[in-house]
Amino acid sequence: MTEPTTEFPPPKILTLSPTHKPILITQGAEGRLYKTPSPIQPNQFCALKYRPPKPYRHPILDARLTKARISSEAKVLDRCYREGVPVPAVLAKDAAAGWMMIEWIEGEPVRVGINTWLGERPEDDAVVDHSQQDETPLIDLMKRIGVAVGALHRTGVVHGDLTTSNMMLRPWADDTLPNGHGDKAEKAKAVAGDVVVIDFGLAMQSQSDEDRAVDLYVLERAFASTHPRAERLFHHILDSYRVAFKKAPGVLHKLEDVRMRGRKRSMLG
């Protein structure tokens, strides 16, 4: 999720029509994400996820891996969407060419919303008495995260890279936004919105408590390092996960083991 520093040639699909210049949003280890006009909805954008060919891999193997990974991600999104997990819909894909177009999700990543809420003054944290502060809007967001992850796991999908950067806060309609003016209302707005889970590039279908617990563990660690000042609220995510997902107790039990030993089950390899 870092700012791209180098210009890459865009994929062929984005060079066919000269009307718009694609906007590179992120550049990851495996793929790139562009913001580009939707092929089917006028005046709307879509996200194009592109996995460029890897020159260090054998071409046949590379083509096969790229195709399988795009297809697998599209399948996971379809499965989640059907089950009511909030994820972007797939609009079109060409797995052989290494791309798929998905719905553009408006709003900011959850990471940004939480950091806006927490504000700019970490040195104050030690002296702030949290009981004096109304933290309800932030706690509500944590609960929505737990519900979203619970829904995801209920579907039989584990995400593989759960972080607050891989969740979007899709703004609510104006009439459901928190009322009022001033700092308090502004802060509440920062953490308002539906949680939409994105980037299923590492996702897989799994029903095992172990895989689910690792998902939660990755989120817990990411949360602690991205939002250390909100770490003491992380348990709200797990609490609502427990309510949202029937098989949560087994997963949370497993999470204790995973915390003891870390993400990798085996020390081999």
Partner 1 sequence: MSKRPASTGTSDPAITSKRPKTPSNVTMSLEPIPLEHIPPNYRVYGALFRDVSNAALLQTQLISRNPEFEYAFIDASTIASRAHLLAAVWNAVYSAVEGNLRTPNVHSEVVASLNINNNIADGYRRWGIMPDKTKDLVVIKILSSPEPLPEAQQEKEADQVWTHLTAQIEGRPVRLTDQEIAQVTDWQKVRKYYKLNGVPVLDQTKDETERRRRMESLAIMGMALRGL
Q: Give me the residues that bind partner 1 (CB under 8 A), please.
A: 13-14, 16-20, 36-42, 71, 74-75, 77-78, 81-84, 89-94, 97, 100, 103
Q: What span, in angstroms and rounded, lies between the C-alpha atoms of 102 and 90?
A: 4
Give catalytic status of residue 161 as yes or no. yes
* Partners of 103 in the β-ladder: 46
Are 199 and 163 contacting, i.e. CB atoms less than 8 angstroms apart? no
* Nearest approach, Cβ of residue 48 and partner 1 (Å): 9
Question: Apex CA 32: angle with CA 87 and CA 9, to 5°?
Answer: 145
Of the residues 62, 94, 140, 161, only one is catalytic, namely 161
Side by side, which strands form the sheet with 108-109?
A: 108-109, 167-170, 194-197
Instruction: 127-132: list long-range contacts, CB under 8 Å, 24+ apart.
Output: 130/232
* Nearest approach, Cβ of residue 97 and partner 1 (Å): 8
**CB neighbour list of residue 233: distance below 8 Å, 6 or more residues apart:** 135, 138, 139, 142
* Nearest approach, Cβ of residue 234 and partner 1 (Å): 28
* Nearest approach, Cβ of residue 254 and partner 1 (Å): 26
- Closest residue by Cα to residue 163 from 208, 223, 112: 223
Residue among 41 and 133 whose Cβ is closer to partner 1: 41
Residue among 77 and 251 whose Cβ is closer to partner 1: 77
Residue among 81 and 172 whose Cβ is closer to partner 1: 81
> Per the structure block, which two tokens stand in for 16?
């066919």
* Nearest approach, Cβ of residue 105 and partner 1 (Å): 13
Report the sign of the C-alpha dihedral through residues 107, 112, 114, 118, in that order: negative
Residue among 205 and 225 whose Cβ is closer to partner 1: 205
Q: Where are the alpha helices (DSSP H) in 191-265?
A: 209-226, 235-244, 248-261
Question: Apex CA 103: angle with CA 98 and CA 109, to 5°?
Answer: 100
Report the sign of the C-alpha dihedral through residues 100, 37, 110, 137, in that order: negative
* Nearest approach, Cβ of residue 239 and partner 1 (Å): 22
The residues annotated as belonging to the active site are 161
